[in-house]
Chains A and B, each alone.
Chain A
Amino acid sequence: MPVDHKRINAPESAVPYKLFTKLNTESLKEQYQKAIRDGIRVDGRKPSEHRKIFLKTGIVAHAKGSAYIEQGNTKVVTSVFDPREIPNRTDYCLKGEIYCEFKFAPFSCPKRRLHQQDSQEKECSAIMKKALEAVVCREEFPNFQVDVYALVLHNDGSALSAAVTAAGVALASAGIPMFDIITSSTLAIQGEHSLFDPNFREELLSEIAIEKEHGVVILCVTSTHQQISHFHQTGNLQLNTITQSIDTLHNTCKEIVPVVQKCLVKSVLSVISES
């Protein structure tokens, strides 16, 4: 491993202390049963219940637009900057580009994250880019790119969904022309249980094959035109489970829209009262 001269380095032998706590002897199945008991989850929610969302714009002072979202314990900051020239590009393109960077803060997950973007973060960046490309009027800024950054401060599940919703709010508050408002939601499936807006543990347990059917589904929907701008699924699911989950997720995404609208109207009103 090359030494990172631009940061202060830790001894390489450092290991998280969680590895040496009392071993959890329960099987995964038992753990999952604990996570959902009599149709009630650990945090007291019903399986179809979404966590409360708190949204705020104008968090980052010098960004064009920014938004902070709190979804249960999950906390994400997103910011959007003015269009700039696409670096290292010589040919002319009619449509502008969106550059997305999704990052987990080193302390946001149970396991410490490194400073460099890892493959999961790269994948999330790509998903965000695809989801947002569909809602931004890219022909309004040809030959330019708009930078969208998302930073997860605390990951307690559904971080990517929260980031997409917040990024949509940040883009709208930045005055970037958009076709629509975008909202996103996550569903974790394990056997016959489908948990909406899973927390970190539920998300983790659904990615492991305990029963035959398991997986995580993420859906991004535009509000007025009712279009799916992105769909992402991992795990092993039957076709009709997927179609069913799309329908139910679609409804959840709709439920988030008023929160987003309220937040945006608030930000417009505050700018009007300022000027």
Chain B
Amino acid sequence: MEKQNLICLPGQRLSLCDKTHTSGKGTYDRRGYIYSNISGIVDVVIKDGIKILEVHSPGLQTIVPAQGDVVTAQISIITQQYCKCYIKCIGDKILRRHFKAILRREDIKATEKDKIDVYKSFKPGDIILARVLPITEAHNYQLSTAENELGVAVAYSEHGHPMIPISWTEMQCIKTYVKEPRKVAKLIPENIHEDLIARLSETTTKV
């Protein structure tokens, strides 16, 4: 990987667009040239002999959740059929404005879909990891936790103490030892967290 501290601004011409150069994140091509989309630092990624030009904004990026993204969300309301939540982060990028999303009952687990109970999976206030489903006509984002790595990441017991997972379906309060049912996410230690995100996003691109 070749790294340069080249600052560019929107509309700046970066290079020719040909067989060996294509536009990546933060760039667009027009009439055979690649131009920058945002102000930031130019990054060249070489993949299969093709140079992909990318521009990374150093500050907070303006992004909206897209299909396939792994997001961090907080549950706000639960009902029999679905739960409502707010998307707070996309991958490891935080959002200033939180987007509303819905997690339907049948999208909570991959197996035994008819036996799922929303209230046995989530409680309001839980922080979950979820994947964004294809956007339909409806205005809300739809999420899914039907993967081992997705589900509740952080939860507090009724008495306000943090809980730790003890199985796929249960978490235990560290103070009162009360067990509560949850759809637990299989969390991976932080140091390989980035790998996970990379892997997850790879599977997304395959889909």
Residues of A within 8 A of B (CB): 64, 81-85, 89-92, 135, 137, 140-141, 143-144, 172-181, 222-225, 261, 264-265, 267-269, 271-272, 275
Contact = CB atoms under 8 A, between A and B. Distances in A.
Interface residues of B, number: 30
Nearest to B27: A177
Nearest to A80: B62
B110 interface: no
Instruction: Pick from B26, B58, B60, B97 the residue with the most CB of A within 10 Å.
Output: B58
13 contacts: A82-B96, A85-B99, A85-B100, A92-B137, A135-B11, A177-B38, A179-B37, A180-B10, A180-B11, A223-B11, A268-B7, A268-B58, A272-B41
Instruction: Pick from B30, B97, B100 the residue with the most CB of A within 10 Å.
Output: B97
Interface in B83-113: 95-97, 99-100
Interface of B: 7, 9-13, 26, 28, 30, 35, 37-41, 57-62, 64, 95-97, 99-100, 135, 137, 139
A264 B12 CA distance: 12
A82 B28 contact: no
Q: Is the interface of A mostly helix, strand, loop or mixed?
A: loop
Contact of A82 (B11, B37, B40, B62): B62
Given A85-B100, A268-B41, A275-B58, 4 more contacts: A135-B11, A137-B37, A174-B62, A261-B9
Contact of B139 (A137, A143, A173, A181): A143
Contacts of B10: 135, 172, 177-181
A172 B38 CA distance: 6
Nearest to A137: B37
A176 to B, nearest CB: 5
A63 to B, nearest CB: 9
A268 B35 contact: no
Contact of A176 (B7, B9, B62, B96): B62
B96 A64 contact: yes
A271 B62 contact: no
Contacts of A180: 10-11, 35
B62 A181 contact: no
